[in-house]
Amino acid sequence: MQLQTNELSLDFLEKVVNIDSRSNNKDGVSLVQKNYLSYLRQLGLSTQFVKNDVCDSADLLLGSIRGNSHFKLNLICHADTVIGPSSNEFRYSDCAKFLYGAGIADNKSGALIAMLGLEYYLNKVSKNKLNINFISSPNEELGSIGFHNVFKKLGQEAVLSLGFEPSMPDGSLIHSRNGNRWYKLHIKGQAYHSGRAKKGHMNAAHDLCSIISCIQTQMSLRQDVTCNVGQIIGGHSFNTICNDIIAKIDTRFNSFDGRLFIDKLFSEKYDEVLQECTTNNIKNDVSISIEDDCPPMPKTDLSNSYLYLYTQTLREISNISYSSVHCGGAADINHFCHDKGAFLDGLGAIGANMHRKDEYIEVDSIKTKSIALGEYLYSINEMI
């Protein structure tokens, strides 16, 4: 079974890479989505655009094909990029082994591999049993805000979800990912001149430091959670007592149990560490809000079975045994995860330097990964 000519595939890739589809460029992202839609319709998929009711982004693209079984799976990719082609033109390396371009690894070659693999499978199979969804987010680089409920529903309905983020630079697949929660810790109190205030006047910055110290102490007891204070905003000058301060805190966890542990930490009142004002016996007001919530992608027993089948398929095609690793970063596939499904990411091209001007992929990995996906889907179809 052969794919469409490699030249045509690379022409399509060049076309979408040269579209400026930075996440906030709604028209550019929409144009990429329309190119994906056209390809999917040629494969016989039904397609629809899903509007964003939360923020002003391009539409989500959802393509689907129905088989004659109850088995459902998702192919997950995205159309947006961090940088545009003005700073990173589509080009080959001198040896023609590598291709460079804006978002070529993350995630335009991944979307192409998903479509080529699906094409390969549909051309080979005589009777399709699989119910397949192709999902392309328009704002993954911004967290796919506005589409989490769609992802969750599609994930819970499916046995298997496959992500087409690039593999690791050495070709390793991704068997699990951290989840993340972003917390905004806001403390408000009373300003004062630091020289004239009585010793012990409550200070929002001091209380913030005390709370973060408590959180970090508890975090250090576990290896599966991390905490990073990314930004602190507040205060006025050297000689004023800080009355209003905000900390933006990024927490990461590799399991749902880790997320529960973090949630309990940030649900604490921390009254015992807040300084009581010696003048009026009051304390600063503390509020904590969740600004972003992404579940982890766990390595489940079911995931292990589907991972083994894929790695065996990939080895037969490439003659290389690729491993799988845990990845600290989150991706769209995290929002599809639940405790009864199987999840595998990194099925995109082998590449590196994402979000940079020298972002690249290995050209041959497009064909290898596409055929591997097609054969993988065919094997699943034959098993059910």
Per-residue confidence (pLDDT) for residue 88, from 0 to 100: 66
User: Average of pLDDT values for 273-300?
Assistant: 91
What is the reported pLDDT for 339?
83
Listing DSSP states for 321-351 in one string gives: ---EEEESS--GGGGG--TTSEEEB--S-BE
Question: Over the stretch 6-17, which tens digit does the pLDDT of each residue have?
Answer: 667 899 999 999
Q: Which residue has the tokens 């959670």?
A: 225
Q: Is the pLDDT of residue 60 over 50?
A: yes
Task: State whether CATH 3.40.50.360 applies to domain 6-178+296-383.
Answer: no
* Residue 167 reports pLDDT greater than 80: yes
5 has pLDDT over 50: no
Instruction: Supply the pTM of this predicted model.
Output: 0.88
Residue 273 has pLDDT above 50, yes or no: yes
Q: What digits encode the pLDDT tens for the residues 328-352?
A: 889 999 999 988 899 999 999 999 9
Mean pLDDT for the stretch of residues 62-69? 97
Q: Please give the Cα distance from 263 to 259 (Å, whole number).
A: 6
User: Residue 380: pLDDT above 70?
Assistant: yes
Q: What was the pLDDT predicted at 277?
A: 86
Question: DSSP string of 41-101?
Answer: HHTT-EEEEE--SSSS-PPEEEEEE--SSS-EEEEEEE--BSS-GGGS--EE-TTSSEEE-
Show me where the domains of the chain are located: 6-178+296-383, 179-294
User: Does the pLDDT value for residue 97 go beyond 60?
Assistant: yes
- State mean pLDDT over 102-116: 97
CA angle 303, 168, 256 (to 5 degrees): 40
Q: What is the CATH number of domain 179-294?
A: 3.30.70.360
**Span 100-107, average pLDDT:** 95
Locus of tokens 């994906």: 36
pLDDT at res. 7: 65
Position 196 scores a pLDDT of: 81
pLDDT at 280: 84
Inform me whether the pLDDT recorded for 309 exceeds 90. Answer: yes
Using the predicted structure, report yes or no on whether residue 248 has a pLDDT greater than 90: yes
Sign of CA dihedral 102, 105, 108, 109: positive
Contact 241, 284 (CB under 8 A): no
pLDDT of 329: 87
Band of pLDDT at residue 306, cut at 50, 70 and 90: very high
Name the more confident of 196 and 52: 52
Mean pLDDT (whole number) for 106-120: 97
In this prediction, residue 1 carries a pLDDT of 45
